[in-house]
Structure 1
Amino acid sequence: MGEGFDAARAAEMVAELRESFMAGKTRSFEWRAAQLKGLARMVDEKEADITAALHDDLAKSQMESFLSELSMVKMSCLFTLKELKRWMKPEKVPTSATSFPSSAKIMSDPLGVVLVISAWNYPFLLSIDPVIGAIAAGNAVVLKPSEVAPATSSLFARILPEYLDTSCVRVVEGSIPETTALLEQKWDKILYTGNARVGRIVMTAAAKHLTPVVLELGGKCPVLVDSNVDLKVASKRIVVGKWGGNNGQACIAPDYIITTKSFAPQLVDSLIITLEKFYGKNPLESADLSRIVNSNHFSRLTKLLDDEKVSGTIVCGGQRNEKSLRIAPTILLDVPDDSLIMKEEIFGPLLLIVTVNELQEGFDLITSKSKPLAAYLFTKDKKLEHKFVKTVFAGGMAINDTILQFTNPHLPFGGVGESGMGAYHGKFSFDTFSHKKSVLSRGFGGEVSMRYPPYTTKKQRILRGLITGNIIAVILALIGWPRN
């Protein structure tokens, strides 16, 4: 679905999905489990097709596609299947004296018909992972893949109907017109992954219908590097976090490093050695580095590199090939604060190193900027680690590594401030697509007269005693003391 898709067709589709939802098709554990098993089976049976689409869109290697996308989706499906019955069970909660005798519970209700608008940089993972959560929670779902990854988008339109119930799950291809048509509809929730500019458009459209949103955005993710580290290990983890998987085209990839002036030369040398070990002397020919997604993003990145203010700051890389849309891993040292590359999210293979006299200046620099989606620290100093965790505000963070916080299904993934709102992954995905409905249940006994008019001084004294937990006051009020 895509060509000729307008607001009228969008409204018709949403009405069909809502009819399926209201008929209860998505509510049972059996339906949810069947869809999740279908997705897991799809990963196995269509691995070659998915890998080929990711290569067409981003020139990802087979290993990178499996490691950063297919395996993550498969693990998400299996984890959700394992935990789903427990998640679906009502949660019993305590009751209060005012409702005694009674029982209380929290029910996880599906929201209804939800929209997932995904991103191009991890086009398989960032599309299917939210859909897993939406299905697990019992919703009908529309997936709008990114048109910037056309091969993967086309693949979804072709293969998802083979594995999912199309009366409850649909794919809509297209670009701005199709997305606009979708955003005009009333949804029960929207999850958008992308940039802050479009995030504001999504939020504005959602506000017309009071639709709640989850926005997974980005930001300039900092890495604070202390001199008290295992430099060889730290360099490998920074390099793979920045350039592995997608050649820097990741919302939680390191954007800039902060370290001291005295330690910077050692760090730069170690990063360069690691880069050559991983990607060879000519990284433009490495099969393990993804290309830039399209010519527009290639031009955007070369514009950052060609800014006259960054002239002379490149200490490694800088090579590019416009025909193949490849840019080598590039390190820039002490770029001026007013340069474009210091202001914008890079989202590519360019890594900045900012030097300071003392690490405290690094804390000040990070906290002076918008809250990032991720923040990283490398140190052996536990006091420094404690300070970093306490004072740096970010969607998430990792200590002495990068990216891996994303892979833990027990941790929420989401931004804060400019880097987004809401979270998903594991049970957090289930919760984000559920409504927590409170249910209080009573029999017909246990009547308390003070609840009803006429209201008297005695009733008020009893109530005050109950509220404050003053049992003696309650007893005295019940026996009528002190007597007026």
Structure 2
Amino acid sequence: MSSFLTHTPTSEIDEIYGRLQRTYKSGRLLNIEYRRQQLYQLARLAQENAATIEKALQADLGKPPFEAAGEALRIIESSLDAAAHLHQWAAPERPSLAGPQSTWDASINSVPKGVVLVISPWNSPFTLTFNPLIGAIAAGCSAGIKPSEHTPTCASLMAQLVPKYLDPEAYIVVNGAVEETNALLTHRWDHIFFTGSGKVGKIIATAAAQLLTPVTLELGGKSPVIVAEDCTDVDLAAKRILWGKTSNAGQVCVTADHVFVVRSIAPVFYEALLRIYKTFWPSSALQDQSWSLLDRTRGTVIAGGDGDGVRKIAPTIVTGVKTDDALMEEEIFGPILPILEVQSVGEAISHIAQQPAPLVIYAFTESEDIKRKLFAETRSGAIVFNDVYSQLRIQEIPFGGFGESGYGTYFGKASFDAFSHKRSFVNIPSSAESSFASRYRPFTEEAYDALKAKIGQHKITDEKSLES
């Protein structure tokens, strides 16, 4: 399988944008059955080409077959879920109106935003390209699709499969690097969905702001883990954390970036990590010394640390890490797990609260007080207790960042909502005219007195008042 990527000529990008505009304006994407058919086709794309997708992920990332198959499965499940719920999601909402407005006809309608752009990263190329696309299809948008140039085999495969399975006039892959992305950003999209680093996210948001284009940014950050002293199963915690840290070689936006462990249980936790490490990797295939961040850390490597000096590094556990260590400077995005000892959970929470808001905070604890304190005193896209990554399996809750880790959400209905505009519809009947009589000029004292009387009629039951 070739790893050569053919870039889309920048001279064609204007035509592609125009084609997407014409397709959207044709109105055929408004048809719910058309959208469902496209969602089923996307599921077929992943199902019928699962083996080819696995090979592409192996060629670009060296991804194990089990993890590669997971990408295809998530696309299938998400597409079918959207198809199954589409009529429900797209149905107008009928708000309950009170008082004189109770007879009015009012609704909230989910209408497509229009022509959108999906820009995806390299670490999970198929999942992070097609999951946002599912939302765009469900909402009735046409879409430009820009995969990462850093996974050329995967990007080339997408360019082959998308026009084969999906409407080639409505969903178009644009391949390339910075030049092609910049050419795309010169156009006025109705929404841009970007997944990637904060550095590039700022560039995307800045370009979008020039054209008042709304943006969803799915970024990352240093998502911490807390292992509290009341953790009832330290072995299980160690197993789940180490699995999460090394899934996809730690190159996942919601990976367990680092661990705060309460000092009183630290020795037991280290022993558990080492036991689990040996069951995951009975022998190391990497022998050469790494040249990575490990060269600068002041911590102690207790497992792993070897690499090929170019691309590969063994899963590595580092203890004795301080908050000012090189490993704590930015998101690691690799299979290195720094562990920081703290005197108490409160100390860990205090540190987390002072850092940029991560995509997720994990904590292994059974204490309701700790859960409440963590929820009240920190900021993050999500909080997950007693496991890592499990939030990614739930389509019914929105996934997204907060602050520096991004803004906007998707997954399930949230994906549909991300590419939809909530358009209000109100029809005021002629019979409502009697309630409007006082609004017309000339204003009368009688109408004014009636308005003032209404101000005093509202009963505010909360007797507490703010003291100046």
TM over 0.5: same fold? Answer: yes
The answer to whether the Cα contact below 8 Å between 1:332 and 1:350 also exists between their aligned partners in 2 is yes
Secondary structure of 2:122's counterpart equals coil
Q: 2:362 corresponds to which letter in structure 1?
A: Y
**Structure 1 outlier segments of 4+, above 6 Å:** none
1:227-271 per-residue CA deviation (whole Å, 9 max, x = no partner) reads: 222112111111111112x01111100111001222212111111
Q: Within the alignment, does 1:267 sit opposite 2:253 as a pair?
A: no
Secondary structure of 2:103's counterpart equals coil
Shift, 1:280, TM fit: 2.1
Alignment of 1:439-454 (within 5 A): 439-448=425-434, 449-454=437-442
Given candidates 438, 442, 451, the residue that maps to 1:463 is 451
Q: 1:188 corresponds to which letter in structure 2?
A: D
**Cα separation, 2, equivalents of 1:362 and 1:118:** 33
**Cα separation, 2, equivalents of 1:419 and 1:5:** 33
The answer to whether the Cα contact below 8 Å between 2:235 and 2:269 also exists between their aligned partners in 1 is no
Q: 2:91 corresponds to which letter in structure 1?
A: K
Secondary structure of 1:124's counterpart equals helix
Q: 2:153 corresponds to which letter in structure 1?
A: A
**Cα separation, 2, equivalents of 1:252 and 1:330:** 18
Aligned to 2:463: none
Given candidates 385, 394, 416, the residue that maps to 1:430 is 416
Alignment of 1:85-234 (within 5 A): 85-97=87-99, 99=101, 101-229=103-231, 230-234=233-237
Shift, 1:214, TM fit: 0.5
The answer to whether the Cα contact below 8 Å between 1:284 and 1:319 also exists between their aligned partners in 2 is yes
TM-score (norm 1): 0.90
The answer to whether the Cα contact below 8 Å between 2:119 and 2:147 also exists between their aligned partners in 1 is yes
Shift, 1:338, TM fit: 3.1
Change (3 A) 1:133 1:407: same
The answer to whether the Cα contact below 8 Å between 2:8 and 2:175 also exists between their aligned partners in 1 is no
**Cα separation, 1, equivalents of 2:343 and 2:370:** 16
**Cα separation, 2, equivalents of 1:311 and 1:88:** 55
Q: 1:454 corresponds to which letter in structure 2?
A: P
**Cα separation, 2, equivalents of 1:361 and 1:337:** 12
Change (3 A) 1:163 1:466: farther
Greater CA deviation, 51-60 or 459-468? 459-468
Shift, 1:19, TM fit: 1.1
1:358-402 per-residue CA deviation (whole Å, 9 max, x = no partner) reads: 221101111111000111000122221222222221111210000
**Cα separation, 2, equivalents of 1:446 and 1:417:** 45
**Cα separation, 1, equivalents of 2:24 and 2:229:** 56
Secondary structure of 2:156's counterpart equals helix
The answer to whether the Cα contact below 8 Å between 2:364 and 2:385 also exists between their aligned partners in 1 is yes
Alignment of 1:217-296 (within 5 A): 217-229=219-231, 230-244=233-247, 246-282=248-284, 284=286
Q: 1:258 corresponds to which letter in structure 2?
A: F
Q: 2:236 corresponds to which letter in structure 1?
A: V
**Cα separation, 2, equivalents of 1:334 and 1:219:** 22
Secondary structure of 1:321's counterpart equals coil
1:420-472 per-residue CA deviation (whole Å, 9 max, x = no partner) reads: 0111110000001000011111222221311211211212233344566569x
Secondary structure of 1:127's counterpart equals helix
Aligned to 2:55: 52
Alignment of 1:60-99 (within 5 A): 60-67=63-70, 69-97=71-99, 99=101
Gapped regions of structure 1 (runs ≥ 5)? 286-297, 472-484
Given candidates 307, 319, 326, the residue that maps to 1:320 is 307
Q: How many residues align?
A: 452
Aligned to 2:465: none
Given candidates 30, 35, 38, the residue that maps to 1:32 is 35
Shift, 1:127, TM fit: 0.4
The answer to whether the Cα contact below 8 Å between 1:117 and 1:145 also exists between their aligned partners in 2 is yes
The answer to whether the Cα contact below 8 Å between 2:144 and 2:172 also exists between their aligned partners in 1 is yes
**Cα separation, 1, equivalents of 2:390 and 2:457:** 48
Secondary structure of 1:270's counterpart equals helix
Secondary structure of 1:210's counterpart equals coil
Shift, 1:334, TM fit: 2.2
